[in-house]
Amino acid sequence: MFGPTADATLEVPERYFTLESYDGGTARWCPGCGDFAILSAVQRICRDQQVPPERLAMVSGIGCSSRFPHYMHAYGFHGLHGRALPVACGIKARRPDLTVWVATGDGDCCSIGAGHWLHAARYNMDMVVMIFDNSVYGLTKKQSSPTTPLGMSTNTHPQGALLPPLNVAETTLGFPNVSFVARTLDWNPGHLYQTLVTAAKHKGTSFVHILQRCPTYTPDVFEDLRRDPERILLLTHPEGVPAEEVAVKQYRNRLEHDPRDLAEARRLAGGHGEKMAIGLLYRNPDAPRYDNQSKVGLGKSREEKLAAIERELDRFVI
Ligand code: SF4
């Protein structure tokens, strides 16, 4: 016999969100771009956690990754270059009930936005910050970014990038009051998904450094990592990113790493031993959060606040 038995009760929730509930405009990244995998992972998380689209705010700056809000059915703010983080902090300050995600890139966040990057870590407001690292400015067609490998030819440095690249995860781990740093790869959907789920659960600013393929301008930059799983070091820990066996069994190099150990997190993020560590590098659930502190407010009623403003203004009456 097929179908529910006669005495079964079928509870249908008033609203149920499917993956399509989070579909925005048609994504117009280049074929094979790693951004598609990240978009799919975020939509899957929203569906799995049943986040109502009207409770979701996607914020970005400028760049290929920053087109993200257009492709999600949610509140979106496609901001100015490097300015995603202060916008996201402002949203979180006024609407703490919203789930806030930030999509930014190595060019957007780590160059013109670097000051905001540091202070967002220090403010530690509750949001997920995805740093899409493709080692180049893709939207403006292959200029050197802060993470371009030394010697790689770009349109701004045809003879090869002149400076050693900045390490996104290692740099973030140097910021005051940083509370969460993880690293993942766009070409392993299971690890990408689990890392973002772990980030979304953390209460504070969760920075996720995502190695993101750009087949148009930096097709070779992650190829050795992609082809040779021996170069990956999978970080494991009961409090870290859950290792989905199917997704990560190709990574045989594993290390039990306690995410409370900041010094070891920095060492691992720096790539010592020439392996690329992926997983949860650092987490401090006790780091103070600006949104927690500021929502306490002044403890005064609206009328008392208005009266105080009037008193202040009266001081300037001529
Ligand atoms: Fe993706 Fe690179 Fe194309 Fe930008 S230029 S959409 S990062 S493949």
Give, for ligand 1, the residue of 28, 35, 71, 106 to mutate: max count of ligand atoms closer than 8 Å to Cβ.
Answer: 35
The three state secondary structure string of 240-267 is CCCCCHHHHCCCCCEEECCCCCHHHHHH
Task: Say if CB 211 and CB 185 are below 8 A apart.
Answer: yes
217 C-beta closer than 6 A to ligand 1:
yes
Report which secondary-structure segment, H or E, holds 36: helix 35-48
Residue with the nearest Cα to atom 6 of ligand 1? 29
Q: How far apart are CA 309 and CA 304, in angstroms?
A: 9
Instruction: List CB contacts of 292: < 8 A, sequence separation 6 or more.
Output: none
Torsion (CA) 75, 77, 82, 83 in degrees, nearest 10: -100
The DSSP letter of residue 157 is -
Q: Crossing angle, helix 189-201 and helix 35-48, to 10 degrees? A: 50
Task: Say if CB 66 and CB 77 are below 8 A apart.
Answer: no
DSSP bridge partners of 206: 128
Which atom of ligand 1 lies closest to the CA of 141?
5
pLDDT tens digits for range 98-126: 999 999 999 999 999 999 999 999 999 99
Which atom of ligand 1 lies closest to the CA of 215?
8
Residue with the nearest Cα to atom 5 of ligand 1? 138
| Global confidence as pTM | 0.91
Which one-letter amino acid corresponds to residue 156? T
Task: Say if CB 130 and CB 63 are below 8 A apart.
Answer: no
Reading the block at residue 60, the tokens are 């970005």
Which atom of ligand 1 lies closest to the CA of 67?
6
174 C-beta closer than 6 A to ligand 1:
no
Which atom of ligand 1 lies closest to the CA of 65?
7
Give, for ligand 1, the residue of 28, 33, 135 to mutate: max count of ligand atoms closer than 8 Å to Cβ.
Answer: 33
Task: Say if CB 253 and CB 230 are below 8 A apart.
Answer: yes
Task: Say if CB 78 and CB 60 are below 8 A apart.
Answer: yes
* pLDDT tens for the 318 residues of the chain, in order: 455 555 666 776 789 999 999 999 999 999 999 999 999 999 999 999 999 999 999 999 999 999 999 999 999 999 999 999 999 999 999 899 999 999 999 999 999 999 999 999 999 999 999 999 999 999 999 999 999 999 999 999 999 999 999 999 999 999 999 999 999 999 999 999 999 999 999 999 999 999 999 999 999 999 999 999 999 999 999 999 998 776 778 899 999 999 999 999 999 999 866 899 999 999 999 999 998 887 777 788 899 999 999 999 999 988
Report which secondary-structure segment, H or E, holds 233: strand 232-236
Which atom of ligand 1 lies closest to the CA of 30?
3
Q: How far is the CA of 183 from the centre of ligand 1 (A)?
A: 20
